[in-house]
Structure 1
Amino acid sequence: MPRAAVSAGSAEPAVQAIIDEVRSGGFEALRSFALRFDGVDRDHPRVPADVIAAAAHALDDDVRSALQEAIRRARIFAEAQLPQPVVVEPAAGARLTQMWVAVDRVGLYVPGGLAVYPSSVVMNVVPAQAAGVGSIALTSPPQREYGGWPHPVILAAASMLGITEVYAMGGAHAVAALAYGVADAHAPDRGIDPVNVITGPGNAFVATAKRLVRGRVGIDSEAGTTEIAVLADETADAALVAADLVSQAEHDPQAASVLVTDSAELADAVRAALRTGAARTRHAERVRTALSGPQSGVVLVDDIEAGIAVCNAYAAEHLEIQTRDAAAVAGRIRNAGAIFIGPYSPVSLGDYCAGSNHVLPTGGTAAFASGLNVTTFLRAVQLIDYDRAALHEVSSSIIALAEAENLPAHGEAVTARFGTPAA
């Protein structure tokens, strides 16, 4: 399968060194990394309230309206995802409950660099709020041209969602600061409190950092450099397929754009359309680099049946289905971050205004990981409530299993409640 030549694992030594330096060096380490990677020199990364307010005030009206619509649709979908408690009574006097509890605090990463992603503010914040998270910290790389703070549109989006704790931090050091916290001995209230969960997309260094801090905190998935696969047959419109492949290639030179088709004619037509589309798009050089890399290409299959198998093996972040009976084909896909069905559901729709979430697993991790959703910020807590008679009913089974596992005190903890060994 087309994959990036350099795996995220190759970044682990460098990323681990960054994490270790943040843990030992605190704010001085963060300041050093901001100067080295972003050309910004600040002694503290917290964005002042007046800077956030000014960004919100200056936001273009059209962008504000677009963000409001994106927020509205995302909130509808997120609130519908809230799982309900489960209560069962396996026997008289025995009650089992599973309830869902939000984590206390989350850290949300919004990428910067080659593009500006206020949409990622929406995608991170809305499901966390729908889950009921009480403390939300948002971080995004500082920008020299904006006074060393994150891009104003990102700050404005945060303001629209009521987020006041925003940091100008990017890369692996931002992930480390969120995971382990940063103390300020001279001013404790200026410290960064550690979080329980970190979510959000980023480059290979961000994805690797999230993998390395997993266990210390929860993460959504390894949402690294973007990728799109399109499963198409001869009924697909080559111009539309090419436009969608270009749309994701413009994210990053390492972005992956893959066509899976059983039609050699369509493949040729898409290649021709890609040459035209790549030449005329604003980020032509970036797009051409992405399309010509080992992570992009055409996979020619014998039939759509084989194409389905290829797509399940690839486990794309974004998978478009542009075939006959696209909905039926989509129903047979098991491994994908999100599936876009038919010619009027391009990935761009999901990136902004579908209401779905665009923070999705990449690099094949969609085979076992989910896209960002409300349950990312929830924990299932089980409640066990048995009365005396209900416990007595299963006491002999508990004692038998405790003896089988050579853990007799487990059984004794039951018999102690009845004064005599259970019958």
Structure 2
Amino acid sequence: MKLILPLHIALLLIGVRVHAEPSITVEDLGPPMVSRGLALRCLTHDASGMVEAWGAFETSERFALVGVRVDNGRATFVDINQFGPPPARARHPQMMASADGNLYAFVGVPGHFVKYDVTRRELVDLGAPSPKASYWLGATVAPDGRFYLGTTPETELVRCDPATGKVENLGKLSSDNREHYAPHPVASDDGMIYCPVGMHHGELWAFNPATGGRKQILPEAMLSKQGRPELWRGKDGHVYGEWAGEKFRCTPDAIEIGKTAPFWPRFYPKLAGDLSVGDIGEDARLKLTRKGKVSYIATDYPGATRGIYSVSCERDGRIYGGGVGPANTFAYDPATKKFTDFGLLASGPVQVYDTLNHKRGLFIASYMNASVDFFDPGAAVKKGVNPRHVVTLEDQERPAQEIIGPDGMVYAGTTPSTGR
């Protein structure tokens, strides 16, 4: 019999008493992983003119937009559970600060564009442009201020115009039904939107907002590789990319192989005058830089519990498991009733699928891709030494379970990469 626990924030102790009338005792041991840090993405000003820095709060029970005052560290939570409660119907919020001074975001399932009026402290639902939009990663802001995302599973490009509040579904990019992802679009300075598509194979689409026209611009020879291209904006305003071993510049009709430039943002979303806002660290302090001088301010941000994805093995009296988003490794000591959060040990940053106890140490299986790392919990953590990367398999992912075979070798099962 295998007991499957839900992706909950707490580790459960289940005890069975064997008497004439058996009973089960369940004890909540608490969350093994709590992240005190928060990545902040953009800035607004509240009614008093004070700067607020915004990030996303994501746990198994609550999704919210979080604003943190940079003068006093006070956090404001704007709940977005009404657009799809976690964990099954909530996705990574994308956000931007608009020229009108307000915060705009794409949240929930199906995805809704929302506006948070930072003066009135009101959240406004602008609408769901696609009833099927269930997943996305990344977004881009065009030079005219419009907000674009690519969605799963239809590879639809959606848009919000903060100037009017209008939201639009601009239609599918790929006509190949094997393609389902359109992450991380990038806008060029001439207004073109370039969007990678995958994951069965990589495609790259150019969308012209002026005409609504769209075109797949990768050459045929680059369409066989599984996954998707990577894109970025250069200082000259062009969009550049990398795929299938080549770097290139994007144009509306084709790519120009061999032309490349470093990443350069069109604007800095966390800059207000001479103030540059960093992130909240694991000590719950916000980093600020003004005229080259760094300072830190204490915040009341409480941190976010991280979901348990696996509880896998026992070693030297401690129980080991792994998390999801991020793929931290943790241990629980029943004797002391204390947790240890080792942080991100796995090569795959999303999920720890399994942790195998071997006489030499622990083999940690993780996603993305199918990765395995070796960790000796009796030795100090040292980058590149402990843990040590063992393997990452191309075209495979999700190494669900590991075992030690009769020959002493470690075996694991995987699934084909998404789209294959």
Q: Which category of TM-score, normalised to the shorter sequence, fits these structures?
A: under 0.3
Bigger proportion of residues as helix: 1
| Greater RCO (CA < 8 Å, at least 6 residues apart) | 1
Rg (Cα) greater in structure: 1
Bigger proportion of residues as strand: 2
